[in-house]
Amino acid sequence: MKKNLFFLFLIIVLAFLLRFYALDKVPGSLNPDEASLGYTSFSILKTGADEHGKFLPLSLQSFGDWKLPVYSYIGVIPVALFGLNEFSARFTSMITGVIAVLLIYFTSLKLFNKRGIALISALFLSVSPWSIYFSRGAYEVNVATTIFLGGFLALLHYFQNKRVRYLFLGFVFFGVTMFTQHNYIVFTPVYVFTVLFLFRKNILYNRRWYASIAFFAILIAASYMSIAAGGGKKVSNLNIFNDRNTIYNRVEKLRGDNSPKNNFLERIFHTKYSGGAYQFTLNYLNSHSPNFLFDKGGEKLVHNIGDFGYFYIFDAFFVIVGLAFLLWNKEKKPLLFLVPWLLIAPIPSAITRELSGTRLFTIVPLFMLIASYGAYKMATIWKEGKLRYAACGIFVLFFIGIVVYFLEYYFVHFNHQRIRFWRYGYREAVKLTYKYPTYNVVMRGPENFPYIYFLFYGEYDPSIFRKEVTYYPPTSEGFYFVKSFGRYQFVDKIDYSNLASKSIYIDDTRLDDKKHSIFLPSGEPILGYYITGEKNEKSTK
């Protein structure tokens, strides 16, 4: 027992170090969503409202993408303790990533009743590329997944001892996930009710059980109402059944090609529902593709690692082995909990127009649980002998080698290879403007949300910002681009033939003047600037 706790302690320390080390430097820049979450925490801390003046909202308008509020509410604590900076913005995700490693140990122990499997689960999650990557950025889905693990563990306790307080606690955790990240608005209710149905004969029905179900139903209704009142249009636009590209490629292109048509077949197969259903199936299958999971990752470059998969190669082997052993050994309890998770988790990603590492992050602890079961069975299936020790030794060396390979890529090369997708240079641009506090600032590219960096790094008073800000008309997708506030203006194009005096112009399309440029860590210019009246500005690196 003490030996197991000692190993668990070492794994937790490892998980903490991999997520805490250089947290404010790798990644080397905040992406816009991170800056928005951090500034929202700052705004709530100072005024009790978000940047748009909504008092303790259940849905954050943000850029028009309508984030859920739990991350920013929890983020008030690190912002209050450490100030508004990269570390405090990412602290919530970092610490919940460590807590997830502890939770998966107890979850695995409760599910499989083997301390060896539990330790392997914790170890696999502690060094998981997907978990490390998302724990080191301000990702709501990382927090939501940890909260879900807490609910899952409580549910396991409930089915073991039939005490309703564990069910109620689980429903509290499950309910919070639906106010943390959009995946869980779909995944949580479907998964929970599926498990309750599968274990319906093991439920002790009484008034407290029905009261707990009613409480959970209220949380589900409240989460859907908050989305409908806030980001309903945004969610609708992301739906593949309303996506213009899907409808054009699957429906309109076929309807308008002047080919001989059968009206009956056209009404069946050439509708947005049939086209959307086909795309849904394709997305669902692609979410389990080796290319997505073990090689390139999702389509959004800021949400993937690059030339490295979300999982290690050996994870694929152990997941397959683990599933095979679960079926072979007829492990009914684990299968009834894990198979629905495996089948339901891809749905939130499949119903949207692109595969995303954030929308599929739900499967990370699931894969670690199955892989750890497979690894344990492989390690114990052989009898004592040289073959067993040789195989275990080879695997340990391979395990250490591939983990070190990932860590070297991430901590050494990531800022040179991928940081351009994280809006690197915007922080440096903000710092440049500090040298000229009386100058106006004009920056190209409102669609990149540069305003949030001036709010974040300047700790701009939220109440003053609300009074000063003007917006461009919202886009067809519901995004709001800031036009101006205070001395800052954000434009589509800078007219260099009509420059104002005492102004700083920042432009991501003007990179020919190396003396007036902001550079990536790789040495490549990423932003150019021009200061009226200044002739000898130094370049910023």
SS (H, E, C) 92-126: HHHHHHHHHHHHHHHHHHHHHCCHHHHHHHHHHHH
CB 168 within 8 A of CB 192: no
Contact assessment for residue 103 and residue 149, using Cβ atoms and an 8 Å cutoff: yes
| For residues 425-447, average pLDDT | 95
* Strand intervals (E) in 398-496: 440-444, 470-471, 482-485, 488-491
Percent of the chain whose predicted confidence (pLDDT) is above 90: 67
Say if strands 525-531 and 517-519 run parallel, antiparallel, or are unpaired: antiparallel
| pLDDT value, residue 144 | 97
How many angstroms separate the CA atoms of 506 and 14, rounded?
42
Whether the CB-CB separation of 186 and 238 falls below 8 Å is answered with: no
Q: How far apart are CA 128 and CA 131, in angstroms?
A: 5
In the predicted model, what is the mean pLDDT of residues 132-136?
Answer: 96
How far apart CA 233 and CA 228 sit, in angstroms, is 8
Task: Give the DSSP letter of residue 448.
Answer: G
**Higher local confidence (pLDDT), 77 or 270:** 77
Q: Does residue 287 sit in helix, strand or coil?
A: coil
- Tokens 């389509």 belong to 299
Write down how long the chain is: 541
Please give the residue that has the higher pLDDT: either 276 or 509: 509
Contacts of residue 83, defined as CB under 8 A and 6 or more positions apart, other chains included, come to 459
Q: Kindly report the CA angle at 82 between 81 and 87, in degrees rounded to 5? A: 135
Spatial distance between the Cα atoms of 272 and 269, rounded to a whole number of angstroms = 9
Distance CA 47, CA 231 (A): 23
Query: Cα dist. 24→14, 52, 358, 451 in Å?
Result: 18, 27, 21, 20
> Is pLDDT at 345 greater than 90 in this prediction?
yes
Least confident stretch, 177-181, 452-456, 507-511: 507-511
Is the pLDDT at 485 greater than 80, yes or no?
yes
What pTM value is reported for the model? 0.93
Q: How confident is the model at residue 233 (pLDDT cuts 50, 70, 90)?
A: low
Mean pLDDT of 201-219: 92
Position 242 pLDDT exceeds 80: no
